[in-house]
Amino acid sequence: MSNRLVEVQHLQQYFPAGGFGKNKKFVQAVDDVSFYINKGETLGLVGESGCGKTTTGRTLLRLYEPTDGTIIYDGNVIFDKKKKIAVDMLPYRKKMQIVFQDPYASLDPRMTIGDIVGEAIDIHKLAASKQERYDMIIDMLRQVGLNSEHANRYPHEFSGGQRQRVGIARALAVNPEFIVCDEPISALDVSIQAQVINMFEDLQEKRGLTYLFIAHDLSVVKHISDRIGVMYLGKLVELADSRELTERSMHPYTKSLISAIPIADPKVAKASKRIVLEGDVPSPLNPPSGCRFRTRCPYADETCAACVPEMREVEPGHFVACHHLDKCN
């Protein structure tokens, strides 16, 4: 039996962006991304805004139908473009859930908190009676630090942190195994962020959950993740164990991201060298040929323009996509 719960192979997500026939344009949001997540682990996914992190998470859940690639959940192929497999997702919605980034936009303002959490219980017919449904809702709210009084209130009566807790309770209502956490703390105050992160960790311990944790704050991802993947312009450029990636990163883009993490000790901060990238991120409508990072990379040459670097296992469990690892390290 494999320990892998979720696996994606050569995942691709292109969005149409105008034009006709041969001139049809596509936003290449996710291009040839492959990774797996073991049962009970947290895989962090980081990168700057617009690199395709959120699209990867949503495509993995088939909230967006993939343009190409294969998605495997617990040994079962739930999507394969080449073999024309696309299974009905309703049974898998109980197992795979998402916590959205914006707690203000992701809750229906016309529904009470009780109905928001109870909606999934109704869809999947998990409660035999009204009383059982009510008990399940209250239990979910208590697990995320809310109480029974909150069930009859509306989203506008809550703070951002409380709304995000409601979003987490809604995801947990169907007792899932796997949750995509799509930047769940980026819209919250710093004081609330730590509480929500700790809650995610407690819930994982109690329920044996598996997470894909998407964020652009590497210091947060480093804290919660077992392994971390780094994305740049729709491509996965590095994937390694959390400590290994932060202490011994190999890809020039990852090195730059890690150098930007604030250090509390002023002496250490002064001694550490900040790697500032030049130029802007190219458009996903017209990405550079070969390596997509080459337009901002100090080590780029003709090889980088000609060939797309392969994701190679440089050390056990440490994968990097770069032509010039010898120069970078």
What average pLDDT does this structure show over 272-296? 86
Identify the pLDDT of residue 15.
94
Average pLDDT, the chain: 91
Quote the percentage of the chain above a pLDDT of 70: 99
Among the residue ranges 94-98, 133-137, 277-281, 312-316, the one predicted with the least confidence is 277-281
Label residue 1 by pLDDT band (50, 70, 90): low
Label residue 329 by pLDDT band (50, 70, 90): confident
Per-residue tokens: 319: 């994968």
Among the residue ranges 74-78, 166-170, 193-197, the one predicted with the least confidence is 193-197
Task: For residue range 41-56, list pLDDT tens digits in order.
Answer: 999 999 988 899 999 9
Contact yes or no for 192/160 (Cβ under 8 A): yes
Using the Cα atoms of residue 223, residue 225, residue 230 and residue 231 in order, give the sign of their dihedral.
Answer: negative
What average pLDDT does this structure show over 86-90? 94
Give dist(CA 140, CA 240) in Å, integer: 34
Assign 3-class secondary structure to 120-189.
HHHHCCCCCCHHHHHHHHHHHHHHCCCCHHHHHCCHHHCCHHHHHHHHHHHHHCCCCCEEEEECCCCCCC
Give dist(CA 167, CA 131) in Å, integer: 22
Quote the percentage of the chain above a pLDDT of 90: 74
Q: Which H/E stretch holds residue 57?
A: helix 53-60
Residues carrying CATH 3.40.50.300, the chain = 4-95+176-328
Task: For residue range 112-143, list pLDDT tens digits in order.
Answer: 999 999 999 999 999 999 999 999 999 999 99
* Res. 307: pLDDT tops 60: yes
* Res. 108: pLDDT tops 60: yes
Among the residue ranges 96-100, 112-116, 162-166, 257-261, the one predicted with the least confidence is 257-261
What average pLDDT does this structure show over 320-329? 89
What average pLDDT does this structure show over 203-224? 92
Specify the CATH number of the domain 4-95+176-328.
3.40.50.300
Contact yes or no for 10/311 (Cβ under 8 A): no
Label residue 170 by pLDDT band (50, 70, 90): very high
pTM for this entry: 0.92
Identify the pLDDT of residue 264.
73
Identify the pLDDT of residue 217.
83
Contact yes or no for 179/5 (Cβ under 8 A): no
In degrees rounded to 5, what are phi and psi of residue 158?
A: -115, 155
Strand-by-strand arrangement of the 227-232 sheet: 96-99, 178-182, 210-214, 42-46, 227-232, 235-241, 318-320, 312-315
Identify the pLDDT of residue 218.
85
* Res. 273: pLDDT tops 80: no
Task: For residue range 237-271, list pLDDT tens digits in order.
Answer: 999 999 999 999 999 999 998 888 777 778 777 77
